[in-house]
Amino acid sequence: MGIADQIGADWEAALAALAWQADLGVTDVLMEGPVNRYDLAEAAPKVQIPRPAAPARNDPARGEAARPQPAPPTIEDKPDPVAAARAAAARAPDLAALREAIAAFDHCELKKGARNTVFADGNPRARVLILGEAPGRDEDLEGLPFVGRAGQLLDRMFAAIGLSRQSPDSEAALYITNVMPWRPPANRDPEPAEIAMMQPFVERHIALVDPQVIVVMGNTPLLALTGAKGILKARGNWSQALGKPLLPMTHPAYLLRTPLAKRDAWADLLALKARLDGA
């Protein structure tokens, strides 16, 4: 038998022996010496990881100068919307520039949900400036103040004392604007923060028009110009705001809901007419 035949015979014998042991249920290969698998394995040696050395500190006692420490990072403050509005309003030399400044003002969230920026309507040379609260649905659609039902009532009210927004004559004209140029969602009342950020624009608007008399209609313009609320208590009582005579009146929308209040509104209109006539 040659060497190749001997190797083949040994391999076949080994394979047969392995198969025989597998048939007997052997699962592990035996080693030369016995192994007690219940003995605990020796703990693996711990590896010591050297810690990085702490950076050397300067010692003033040894004459070493202290190194300057970097300043902690700071978070930039958000821009103040009232300050931004005040700066933008102050830069407007005329009504056209003020309209552009308001349209470009992005700090008021109401602008995002509005279709139009409602600036003003009427004759800017009018003696009477009417300041309302905020646009409603109709005003938002048309981009003009007081064009809905309340606006139609307002026109009839002031026409009764000879004043109109369409009049080219400054003596008989009206100029109409609002505190808020954008419609609040669901016609809710403007929030104090929203009024505060638009107040610089309102003050600049009034300064550019320079009316003889200001009529505030509703709580929002009363708050914006006097810092007080309570239009039902304030209505009909003359006061001063921005160096101008100021007459508070109830909003036409309130008159539509409360027809009995129209008698008080008529009294306010007669007081306005008497003031304009110099009585």
Structural domains in the chain, CATH included, are 81-276 (3.40.470.10)
Quote the pLDDT of residue 118.
98
The model carries a pTM of 0.72
The pLDDT of residue 198 is: 98
Per-residue pLDDT of the chain (279 residues; tens, 9 = 90+): 555 455 555 767 776 776 766 666 666 666 566 656 555 555 555 556 556 555 555 555 555 555 556 555 554 567 899 999 999 999 999 999 999 999 999 999 999 999 999 999 999 999 999 999 999 999 999 999 999 999 999 999 999 999 999 999 999 999 999 999 999 999 999 999 999 999 999 999 999 999 999 999 999 999 999 999 999 999 999 999 999 999 999 999 999 999 999 999 999 999 999 999 985
Tell me the DSSP string of the chain. --HHHHHHHHHHHHHHHHHHHHHTT--S---SS---TTSPPPPPPPPPPPPPPPPPPP-GGGTPPPPPPPPPP-PPPPP-HHHHHHHHHHT--SHHHHHHHHHT----THHHH-SS---EEE-TT-SEEEEES---HHHHHHTSSS-SHHHHHHHHHHHTTT-BTT-SSGGGBEEEEES-SSPPGGGPPPPHHHHHHHHHHHHHHHHHH--SEEEEESHHHHHHHHS---HHHHTT--EEETTEEEEEE--HHHHHH-GGGHHHHHHHHHHHHHHHTT-
pLDDT at 75: 45
- Quote the pLDDT of residue 12: 74
